[in-house]
Amino acid sequence: MSETAIAAEAVCANYINGAWVASHSGRTLERRNPADLRDLIGYAPLSTRGEVQEAIRSAARAFPAWRSEPAPRRGRILAHAARRLEEQKEDVARLISREEGKTLVEARGELGRAINILEYTAGEARRLKGETLPSELPSNFVYTFRQPLGVVGLITPWNFPVAVPIWKLAPALVCGNTVVWKPSELTPFCSRRVTEILVEAGLPAGVLNMVNGLGEEAGDELVEHPAVVALSFTGSDAVGAAINAKAARQLKKVQLEMGGKNPVVVLEDADLELAAENTVTGAFGSAGERCTATSRVIVVEQVADRFVDLVARRAAKLRTGNPVDSGSQVAPLVGREQFEKVIGYLEIGKHEATLVCGGEPGSGADGVQGFFVQPTVFDHVPAASRLAQEEIFGPVLAIIRVRDFDEAMAAANAVRYGLTASIFTTDANRVFQAAERLECGMVHVNSPTVGGEAHVPFGGIKGTGFGERECGSTAIEFYSELKVVYVDYTGRKREGSLY
């Protein structure tokens, strides 16, 4: 479907029980290109609780047949989806850039990840394995196998509008669950495309249902509805904690992936050029709107002046601009709310620390109005300040100076989040010590805080992550239940006891 047709169609439909249906709420949210506010993309419907309930009923009806479908056949549908996404990659990349705002290069990267996940999970369909265990009793054995959970609710953010939904949908579906998905209303056209691709790949009616709407209404209905037995959420820690508290009352299985305040640690023996290059990539790529973005640098005082200079020189050269232009390196923020939040932090930073570069709104191509922010670096940031502690989710880097390795570890860990961290050093002992001591889910050595692979578990600890990790084999563990079977093949009354 062409971009013009999408714009003319105006309001995105929901996908319920195998059909595209217009929301009857009568309420919509306008979506404009964040790089060019003249460009109206269309509208997301703000669906009602009743529409979400209809989607849940549809998923519940589809569950018995879908769970009975042999897993390799479920996997084949994901393999078809991977191929369709590959064929449409350039078109979908342009849609991501237009709707979410990341550069075309970054959008292609997101789609590469999504395709890898579909391919990997298609293969997992043939490896939904259990184990056999010996019994204490003669002629007895025990085995385990995995079963689907039922109707699962998926709630996703806007910052990876294709990859994050796919890394939840693919394992949920391959395990035999049926799904109701509530995407962010900021990226409805990307959500529509993801749904179309999976449906065209062969998903039966009712297996995947997608309902646009506000979190506190459509999302909350998924959290509260007793027929939804598990919830996978990616988003902010405030919303995640509230969801978890409500879901706990019904003992729902919950997986939460939330915010980050990811540090790069630079030691005195680091390759400073490499550290600066990778810090800039991690901090300003996708305009800092990645959960894994570098938002803090903890640098040893001995090399701090030189390191800050190297970072500032690189940051000052980065160009904001229309994300589909090849010369643009820093994309706009997703929307007005995010833009105003980040601008607010720039003002806070000017009071709390020393501004090194940036610090102002940026500009689009030919002065076109968009939500651009200059790549910004603050130095001498106090470890307890808001700049050092709060997730900003924009192109803003806080540099914290420390005396030595021990202070660096303490500063790195002195936040409530724990998603990723990087360390730059040439000392092998420090590498392994840091891997043990850093309080986070993923550690990168001499490389940026960002990135992840389809077959590798992804997620954090502390205020960032709750429940099983996403991606890799741990995703299968979340979306399935383990059952144990005791088999006695003696054909006689049991003689021993298993208390």
Q: Which of 291, 357, 440, 471 is catalytic?
A: 291
Shortest Cβ 151–ligand NAP spacing (Å): 16
Shortest Cβ 346–ligand NAP spacing (Å): 18
Which of 56, 254, 258, 409 contacts ligand NAP by CB under 6 A?
A: 258
Q: For ligand NAP, give the closer residue by CB, 43 or 405.
A: 43
Shortest Cβ 214–ligand NAP spacing (Å): 4
Q: For ligand NAP, give the closer residue by CB, 75 or 394.
A: 394
Q: For ligand NAP, give the closer residue by CB, 229 or 258.
A: 258
Q: Which stretch binds ligand NAP (CB under 6 A): 14-22, 99-107, 155-163, 376-384?
A: 155-163
Shortest Cβ 283–ligand NAP spacing (Å): 14
484 burial via Cβ count (<10 Å: 0-12, 13-18, 19+)? exposed
To the query of whether residue 257 is one of the catalytic residues in this protein, the response is yes
User: Which x/- pattern over 156-175 shows residues binding ligand NAP (rule: CB under 6 A)?
Assistant: xxxxx---x-----------
Binders in 266-305 for ligand NAP, by CB under 6 A: 291
User: Which x/- pattern over 445-474 shows residues binding ligand NAP (rule: CB under 6 A)?
Assistant: ---------------x---x----------
User: How would you classify the pairing of strands 132-134 and 140-148?
Assistant: antiparallel
- Counting Cα atoms < 13 Å in the Cβ hemisphere of 280 gives 23
Which of 259, 358, 362, 463 contacts ligand NAP by CB under 6 A?
A: 259
Which of 215, 282, 418, 448 contacts ligand NAP by CB under 6 A?
A: 215
Which of 36, 119, 124, 257 contacts ligand NAP by CB under 6 A?
A: 257
Q: Which of 99, 106, 257, 477 is catalytic?
A: 257
Q: Which stretch binds ligand NAP (CB under 6 A): 6-14, 103-111, 216-224, 273-281?
A: 216-224
To the query of whether residue 291 is one of the catalytic residues in this protein, the response is yes
Q: For ligand NAP, give the closer residue by CB, 58 or 255.
A: 255
Cα–Cα distance, 219 to 232 (Å, whole number) = 11
Q: What's the Cα-to-Cα distance from 334 to each of 97, 146, 152, 189, 457, rounded to whole Å?
A: 10, 39, 28, 14, 27
227 binds ligand NAP (CB under 6 A): no
Binders in 392-411 for ligand NAP, by CB under 6 A: 393
Q: How many residues sit in the footprint of ligand NAP (CB under 6 A)?
A: 32
Q: For ligand NAP, give the closer residue by CB, 110 or 391.
A: 391
First-to-last alpha carbon distance for the chain, in angstroms, is 64
263 binds ligand NAP (CB under 6 A): no
191 binds ligand NAP (CB under 6 A): no
Q: Which stretch binds ligand NAP (CB under 6 A): 14-22, 50-58, 129-137, 215-223?
A: 215-223
**How open is the CA angle 151-154-160, to the nearest 5 degrees?**
155
User: Which x/- pattern over 409-428 shows residues binding ligand NAP (rule: CB under 6 A)?
Assistant: ----------x---------
Shortest Cβ 244–ligand NAP spacing (Å): 11
CB of 381 closer than 8 Å to CB of 397: no
289: β partners: none
| Active-site amino acid positions | 257, 291
Enumerate binding residues for ligand NAP (CB under 6 A). Answer: 155-160, 164, 182, 184-185, 214-216, 219-220, 223, 234-236, 239, 242-243, 257-260, 291, 391, 393, 419, 460, 464
